[in-house]
Structure 1
Amino acid sequence: MKKKVVLVTGATGYLGGRLCRELFNAGHHVKAFVRRTSDLSYLPPPTDGGSSGGTFELVFGDVTDYQSLLQACSGCHVIFHAAALVEPWLPDPSRFISVNVSGLKNMLQAYKEAGTIEKIVYTSSFFALGPTDGYVADETQIHSGKFFCTEYEKSKAVADKVALDAASEGMPIVPVYPGVIYGPGKVTAGNVVARMLIERFNGRLPGYIGQANDRFSFSHVDDVVDGHIAAMDKGKPGERYLLTGENASFKEVFDIAAMVTQTKRPSFGIPLLIIEAYGWISVLFSKLTGKLPLISPPTVCVLRHQWTYSCDKAKSELDYHPRSLKEGLKLEPLIEG
């Protein structure tokens, strides 16, 4: 495999940090695009080279600052554009567009100016395709745009159109669409399963959340990382790839987690109306404290719908092999450190 100079935006995120490590371990020259205020503790230390042959460097900037992004792209062969604002609710929703949409537009402009970039692997989201109430969707689904549960969902749907338009203009962009990502590592809004299980095992979430018929597509973080690297090596520009996994309910996730940890399953479900009321209260407290809520009304809207997808295309074209929830939750503790 030819070693490449790769830039990872969103390098301090839940997915981006693990992607940086894997690319570095594979011997690539990894440039991690980070903000000066970011927590760098999950990233490898900067190095000039090691036994693996990989090199790792930090490049400071922000996807909303075009000049810093253009400078970071200098000399790169591949861009992994994983930077995104991932939250179900923010007091200032305009930030979703500035980071998730304008950040992608800046990246595409930087591609044109840099002149060395062979491929852009763009991390989209299952939300960009929209809900799948009553069926399992594939890569042919385009978001209807009739309604959006969250401003994040709206921003990813808008950004998806930007990516597809860029592909139609001949840019070498490969959009990938992870499901609900879970696994060990950083506990952030990008690792919502771990956050909910922490609440569950600490007794702050005493019952099941969601509805009996809620369905989501769950993706283990390491499978998603492998899918991104496969998209760099085998992905066809302009083709979309769902990096999803097992379709299941949050009830099933809680039951599997209880089995793995040999703890008692929840004995009741929390009605969505109660969760919604709690969400409104949490938002009010958030406005007072400045701390983002775990659950907000947009989260409840998401729980009222199904989000199930098939990753058959990624399996056949990228050799993508997602593990089952049972394997993923059993493999290693969800919460590290």
Structure 2
Amino acid sequence: MKVLVTGASGYLGGKICHALLAQGHTVRALVRRTSNLDSLLSVINKAEEGSLDLAYGDITDYKSLLFAFSDCQIIFHVAALVEPWLPDPSKFISVNVDGLKNVLKAVKETKSVEKIIYTSSFFALGCTDGGYIANETQVHHDKYFCTEYEKSKAIADKIAMQAALDGLPIVVVYPGVIYGPGKVTAGNVMAKMLIERFSGRLPGYIGNGNDKFSFTHVEDVVCGHIAAMHKGRAGERYLLTGENASFKHLFDAAAVITRTRKPWFHIPLWVVEAYGWVSVFISRITGKLPVISPPSVTVLRHQWAYSCEKAKVELGYIPRSLSEGLGEVLPWLKSLGLIKY
């Protein structure tokens, strides 16, 4: 098959390209002229002629999508703006919402497309406050949003499901908190937190440890995407999540693996939020995005626990445990010189 991947230069998109090529598919990677292609260079250098080609474009540019989608049977729409805070929040709508609209419109015009795999986010389903574990039947309440990113993904989710009702062959997947070797980006939040923890800039637990997230290794998410291409039913939603745990549990597990001391105190969320406001102020001056921002702290005030049973049954999805995943991530960060233990 000829498969197109949007966001191919990103943390997740690049790994999906690798996996598709390993299965013998012809891959067209949609990238911008300004994209950092480090995640694709090894593929570009080793791939046989015709197995991988670059299509220059942008999901906000409808005409570039029409050209890129031509002759493709499968579209992986992975591209997204993943940040907890931006000085210009309108970018979340233009990329995550309008970008999806452009992709769907281009698919309608491209007669060769047989299936779309759309990468959504657990945020699109909403929080799970109260201690329960949600599945694919949950619909975002739309009463409030912790971040503009969450809002944009919730809006896009409804657009995707309406497209399914209209007959488009779309499969929606919802990764959890993605982590693992690769790029240290906003989408790899665990790596950033571990770097802060082991550098001494984050000496304690964040909050009381009541938060809950579904941590998912990036390689498992990639396998889930590929399985969705082969086995996913059009119009269905699949949670590609993993072990549900708090960041306190994460730090404790990391301490056991590295044989280092566990944090011995908790940092109140109001203190972290105050630091976030200072970071945002500095960011507006320097232009460098903050590691912690007030919306990030708002996320930590809620729970985000999900079940991936449907993906296990229908897709053969098998996520690894958090301790197993950390056993890979920590030595990787150490090898890069980003942490010491």
Q: TM-score, normalising length from structure 2?
A: 0.95
Q: Matches of 2:320 and 2:219 in 1, distance apart?
A: 10
Matches within 5 A, 1:1-337: 4-43=1-40, 44-46=42-44, 50=48, 55-134=51-130, 135-332=132-329, 333-335=331-333, 337=336
CA distance in 2: counterparts of 1:321 and 1:48, whole angstroms: 29
Show structure 1 runs of 5+ residues with no match.
Answer: none
Contact 2:18 2:43 in 1 (8 A): no
Quote how far apart the aligned CAs of 1:47 are.
6.3
More deviation, 253-262/191-200? 253-262
Question: How far is 1:49 from its partner?
Answer: 5.0
Aligned length: 332
Q: Is the 8 A contact 1:179 1:219 kept in 2?
A: yes
Q: How much has 1:48 moved relative to structure 2? A: 9.0
Which amino acid in the other structure matches residue 25 of structure 2? H
Whole-angstrom CA distance in 2 between matches of 1:317 and 1:110: 29
CA distance in 1, matches of 2:195, 2:332: 9
Cα distance in 1 between the residues matched to 2:226 and 2:36: 24
Supply the distance in 1 between the matched residues of 2:184 and 2:202 (Cα, whole angstroms).
Answer: 17
- Cα distance in 1 for residues equivalent to 2:45 and 2:68: 17
Quote the Cα distance in structure 2 between the aligned partners of 1:62 and 1:241. 26
Percent identity (aligned):
67
1 CA distance for matches of 2:58 and 2:266? Answer: 42
Q: CA RMSD in A?
A: 1.4
Measured after TM superposition, the shift of residue 331 of structure 1 is 3.1
Q: Counterpart amino acid of 1:265?
A: K
Alpha carbons 1:64, 1:99 under 8 Å: kept: yes
Partners of 2:240 and 2:296 in 1: how far apart? 22
Within 1, Cα distance between the matches of 2:245 and 2:263?
17
CA distance in 2, matches of 1:329, 1:220: 9
For residues 47 and 232 of structure 1, what CA distance do their matches in structure 2 show?
A: 26
Q: Following the alignment from structure 1 to structure 2, what is the Cα–Cα distance between the partners of residues 48 and 281? A: 46
The whole-number CA distance in structure 1 between the counterparts of 2:158 and 2:226 is: 23
3-state secondary structure, aligned to 1:46: helix
The amino acid of 1:220's aligned partner reads H
Q: Is the 8 A contact 1:210 1:250 kept in 2?
A: no
- Give the whole-Å Cα distance in 2 for the aligned partners of 1:69 and 1:190: 24
Q: Mind listing any 5+ residue stretches in structure 2 that lack a counterpart?
A: 337-341
Question: What displacement does 1:172 show?
Answer: 0.4
AA aligned opposite 2:169: P
Q: CA deviation at 1:26?
A: 1.4
Q: Any idea what the Cα deviations from partners look like across 1:239-293, whole Å, max 9, x if unmatched?
A: 0000000000001111111111222111111110000000000000000000000
Q: Tell me the CA shift for residue 59 of structure 1.
A: 1.0
Alpha-carbon distance in structure 1 between the residues aligned to 2:258 and 2:31: 36
